[in-house]
C-alpha cells in the first residue's frame, strides 16, 4: 500500500499547513498511541529541536498520546539520535522527534522510532495511517497517560556519545569549531568534545526559535569555514538542526563531505578489524561520489549503492550484514556504535581516525580522489517522477552518451521537498557543469 502521510523520514511540511497542523498532530499522536496500546499500555519518549513550533506540537502529541492511554517522557531539545538512544535505554515502546532536520524554521515534522531505537517499519507506519482515519476516542479517565520531563536527558546522551569513542581517544591540544546550526545539539555537542579534552569554540549555538539552520550548520558550511580560518582551528564540525548529519572542515578551510568522512571511517575500521574483514563493506547511495567507490574497492572494501534516504541505507546494511553506511549529505550510520545516523557519533569516529593515524583531516581525505560532481535543485509545483517525461528521458540518455563510461547522470525527486535533484558526475568538471545546467533547464521547462 502507498503511504498517505509518511515520507522517507517521517511526516514533514510547512507549519500550519496540512498535515503539519496542531489538530492533525494531536490525531497523529493518538493514532500512534492506539497502535502502541494494542501491545499493552506503554510509554513514549518525545524530543524536539529548537523551532518555535515545537512547543505547539509537543503539547499536541502529549495530549493525543495521553488520550490513547500512553505515558509521555519529555526531553526538551534533543538530537534525533539522542531520542533513539533514550527510547531504547528507558524501555519505551516509541520515540518521537519533532523536527524538520535541515529545513528552515517555518517547516517542521514528526519522526518516529521503535522501542529498539530504529525507524518504524512500513507496516507500523501504515497501521498508524489507518488509525488516523478512525474517530478519535479517549480511554477511561483512570487509564489516561501521564507526562513527565526527563531532567537528566542531556547528560545521559552526552555520556553515551563519549562512550562510542575508543578508549585511547585523547583530544587535548586539538582546537575544534563546532557549529550546531542553532539546533537540537546546541547544549550537547560542545560538551561531548570538550569533556574529551578538546579546546572547543562553539558557533551557531544561540537558538531563538526562528534562526535554526539560518546561514549555519551542515547545509551552510561557509560560516564554519570562516570560523576555522579565523580561529586557526585544527578542524570544524557542522551539524544540522536535529544533529543526525555531519559535515566537517579541515584546517585549510576546505569542506569534507559525507562521502569523504565515510571513507575515513571505513578505512579506520578495516585497520581495527584487520583479522576479521571477510564480510566488511560500506553502503552508499545513488548520490555517493564515484571516487569513494573506487577508493574503497582499491582497499578491498565492498561497496553497494542504496536509494537515497537513511532507511534504504539501513536496509542494505542489514541485507549485507555490514555496519558502516551513509550519504554524501553527511548522514552517516555506524551500527557498531549506535542504531541510527548520528552526527556527533560519526564525528567522534573521524576524530578517532585522526588520533590513531597521527594525520590531520586534510591528509586523511587525500586517500580518496573525488570526481567532479554537481547538483542543481529545481523547484517544482508538485511532487512528480522526473522520468515521467519522454523529453527528459531523451536528454538523460544523450548526456550519458556524451559522458561515456567516465561519468553518470541521476535525476530524482526529493522525498521531503517539492524539488527535483539533477546530478551529473564525471572526470571533466567543465563538461559536468555544462551537462547539469542543460538538464536542469530542461527539467524546469517541463515541471517548474
Give residue-wise pLDDT tens across range 399-435.
999 998 788 999 988 876 789 999 999 989 999 999 9
**DSSP designation for 119:** B
pLDDT at 8: 83
Helices assigned H by DSSP within 38-110: 54-67, 80-89
pLDDT exceeds cutoff 60 at 139: yes
* Mean pLDDT, residues 100-117 taken together: 96
Beta strand residue intervals within 286-388, DSSP E: 302-306, 324-326, 332-334, 373-379
> Which of 367, 389, 421 is where one domain is finished?
367
Residue 420 β-bridge partners: 378, 413
Those residues whose C-beta lies under 8 Å from the C-beta of residue 322, and which sit 6 or more positions away, are 279, 280, 281, 282, 283, 302, 316, 335
Indicate if 362 and 397 belong to the same structural domain.
no
Which position among 66, 101, 114, 154 bears the catalytic label?
101
**One domain, residues 25 and 75:** yes
Residues 249 and 212 in one domain: yes
Q: Is the same domain home to 16 and 88?
A: yes
pLDDT at 177: 98
The C-alpha atoms of residue 207 and residue 50 are separated, in whole angstroms, by 6
- β-bridge mates for residue 149, sequence order: 74
Q: Which of 305, 300, 340 is nearest to 320 (CA)?
A: 305
Q: CB under 8 Å to 120, separation ≥6 — which residues? A: 112, 113, 114, 128
The Cα 8–Cα 120 span in angstroms is 11
The number of distinct structural domains making up the chain is 4
Dump pLDDT digits (tens) for 248-275: 999 999 999 999 999 999 999 887 765 4
Domain CATH number, residue 338: 3.40.120.10
The CATH number of the domain holding residue 427 is 3.30.310.50
Give the model's pLDDT for residue 274.
53
Confidence of residue 448 (pLDDT cuts 50, 70, 90): confident
pLDDT for residue 406: 81
Q: Which residues contact 187 (CB under 8 A, 6 or more apart)?
A: 77, 154, 205
pTM: 0.91
The span from the CA of 325 to the CA of 319, in Å, is: 12
Q: Which residue has the higher pLDDT, 190 or 447?
A: 190
Which pLDDT does position 64 carry in this prediction? 98
Statement to judge: residues 232 and 267 lie in one domain: no
Instruction: Give pLDDT, residue 235.
Output: 98
- Do 206 and 271 fall within a single domain? no
To the nearest whole number, what is the mean pLDDT of the chain? 94
- Strands 94-98 and 43-48, how do they pair? parallel
Contact 158, 195 (CB under 8 A): yes
Using the 8-state DSSP alphabet, how is residue 337 labeled? T
Classify residue 199: in a domain, yes or no.
Answer: yes
| 238 belongs to a structural domain | yes
Does residue 38 have a pLDDT over 70?
Answer: yes
pLDDT at 41: 73
Q: Which of 324, 349, 367 is the last residue of a domain?
A: 367
**Shared domain check, 212 and 278:** no
The answer to whether residue 389 is catalytic is: no
Query: Has residue 165 been placed in a domain?
Result: no
Q: Residue 339 has what pLDDT?
A: 95
Cα atoms in the Cβ-side hemisphere of radius 13 Å centred on 347 = 32
pLDDT score for 273 = 64
| Domain that residue 180 falls in | 175-254
Q: How far is CA 24 from the centre of its chain?
A: 25
**pLDDT at 278 (0 to 100):** 61
Burial (0-12, 13-18, 19+ Cβ within 10 Å), 7: middle
In a domain, 326, yes or no: yes
Q: Identify the residue with better confidence: 90 or 384.
A: 90
Residue 163 lies in a domain: no
Does residue 318 lie in a domain region? yes
The answer to whether residue 277 scores a pLDDT higher than 70 is: no
| CA–CA gap between residue 76 and residue 80 (Å, rounded) | 11
Instruction: Based on the fold, state whether residues 381 and 431 are members of the same structural domain.
Output: yes
Among residues 234, 254, 274, the one where a domain terminates is: 254
- The predicted model gives 63-90 an average pLDDT of 97
Q: Are residues 147 and 15 in the same domain?
A: yes
Instruction: List for the chain the helix, strand, coil content (%; round to 5).
Output: 40, 20, 40
> Cα separations (Å) of 215 from 48, 180, 182, 203, 219?
21, 11, 10, 11, 8
Q: What is the largest CA-CA distance in the chain?
A: 70
What are the Cα distances from residue 438, in Å, to 232, 380, 408, 442?
Answer: 40, 17, 15, 7
- Helix axis angle, 343-357 to 258-272, nearest 10°: 60
- Mean pLDDT, residues 46-51 taken together: 98
Q: With 70 as the cut, is the pLDDT of residue 286 above it?
A: yes
Which strands form 235-239's sheet, in the order they lie side by side? 199-203, 175-179, 235-239, 246-250, 255-256
What's the confidence (pLDDT) of residue 404? 86
Q: Tell me the CA end-to-end span of the chain in Å, nearest whole number.
A: 29
**Confidence class of residue 391 from pLDDT cuts 50, 70 and 90?**
very high
Can you tell me the distance from the alpha carbon of 28 to that of 62, in angstroms, rounded to the nearest whole number?
A: 11
Identify the pLDDT of residue 22. Answer: 98
Same domain, 15 and 145: yes
C-alpha distances (whole Å) from 179 to each of 207, 246, 429 are 12, 10, 30
Q: Is the pLDDT of residue 332 over 70?
A: yes
Burial of 189 (0-12, 13-18, 19+ CB in 10 A): buried
Tell me if 5 is assigned to some domain.
no
State whether 205 and 298 are in the same domain: no
pLDDT of residue 223 exceeding 90: yes
Considering the domain architecture, whether residues 386 and 293 belong to the same structural domain is answered as: no
Amino acid at each position: 500500500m502507498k503511504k498517505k502521510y509518511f515520507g522517507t523520514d517521517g511526516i514533514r511540511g510547512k507549519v500550519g499547513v496540512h498535515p503539519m497542523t496542531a489538530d492533525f498532530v494531536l490525531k497523529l499522536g493518538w493514532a500512534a498511541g492506539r497502535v502502541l496500546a494494542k501491545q499493552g499500555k506503554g510509554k513514549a519518549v518525545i524530543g524536539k529541536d529548537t523551532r518555535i513550533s515545537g512547543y505547539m506540537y509537543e503539547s499536541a502529541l502529549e495530549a493525543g498520546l495521553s488520550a490513547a492511554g500512553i505515558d509521555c517522557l519529555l526531553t526538551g531539545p534533543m538530537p534525533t539520535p539522542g531520542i533513539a538512544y533514550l527510547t531504547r535505554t528507558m524501555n519505551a515502546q516509541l520515540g518521537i522527534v519533532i523536527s524538520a532536520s535541515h529545513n528552515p524554521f517555518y517547516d517542521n515534522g514528526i519522526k518516529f522510532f521503535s522501542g529498539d531505537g530504529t525507524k518504524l517499519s512500513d507496516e507500523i507506519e501504515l497501521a498508524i495511517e489507518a488509525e488516523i482515519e478512525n474517530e478519535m476516542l479517549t480511554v477511561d479517565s483512570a487509564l489516561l497517560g501521564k507526562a513527565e520531563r526527563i531532567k537528566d536527558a542531556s547528560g545521559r546522551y552526552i555520556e553515551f556519545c563519549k562512550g562510542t569513542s575508543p578508549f585511547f581517544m585523547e583530544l587535548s591540544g586539538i582546537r575544534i569549531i563546532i557549529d550546531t546550526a542553532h539546533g537540537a545539539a546546541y547544549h550537547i555537542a560542545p560538551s561531548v568534545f570538550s569533556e574529551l579534552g578538546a579546546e572547543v569554540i562553539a558557533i551557531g549555538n544561540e537558538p531563538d526559535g526562528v534562526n535554526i539552520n539560518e546561514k549555519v550548520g551542515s547545509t551552510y558550511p561557509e560560516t564554519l569555514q570562516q570560523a576555522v580560518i579565523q580561529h586557526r582551528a585544527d578542524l570544524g564540525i557542522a551539524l544540522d538542526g536535529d544533529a543526525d548529519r555531519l559535515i566537517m572542515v579541515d584546517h585549510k578551510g576546505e569542506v569534507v563531505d559525507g562521502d569523504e568522512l565515510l571513507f575515513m571511517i571505513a578505512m579506520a575500521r578495516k585497520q581495527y578489524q584487520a583479522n576479521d574483514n571477510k564480510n566488511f563493506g560500506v553502503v552508499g547511495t545513488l548520490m555517493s561520489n564515484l571516487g569513494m567507490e573506487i577508493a574503497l574497492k582499491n582497499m578491498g572494501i565492498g561497496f553497494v549503492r542504496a536509494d537515497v534516504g537513511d532507511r534504504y541505507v539501513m536496509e542494505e546494511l542489514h541485507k549485507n550484514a555490514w555496519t558502516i553506511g551513509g550519504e554524501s549529505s553527511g548522514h552517516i550510520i555506524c551500527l557498531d556504535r549506535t542504531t541510527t545516523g548520528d552526527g556527533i557519533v560519526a564525528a567522534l569516529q573521524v576524530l578517532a581516525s585522526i588520533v590513531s593515524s597521527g594525520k590531520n583531516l586534510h591528509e586523511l581525505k587525500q586517500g580518496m580522489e573525488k570526481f567532479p560532481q554537481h547538483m542543481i535543485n529545481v523547484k517544482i509545483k508538485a511532487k512528480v517522477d522526473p522520468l515521467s517525461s519522454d523529453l527528459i528521458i531523451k536528454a538523460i540518455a544523450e548526456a550519458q552518451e556524451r559522458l561515456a563510461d567516465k561519468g553518470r547522470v541521476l535525476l530524482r525527486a526529493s522525498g521531503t521537498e517539492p524539488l527535483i535533484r539533477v546530478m551529473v558526475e564525471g572526470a571533466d568538471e567543465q563538461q559536468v557543469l555544462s551537462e547539469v545546467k542543460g538538464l536542469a533547464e530542461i527539467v524546469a521547462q517541463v515541471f517548474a
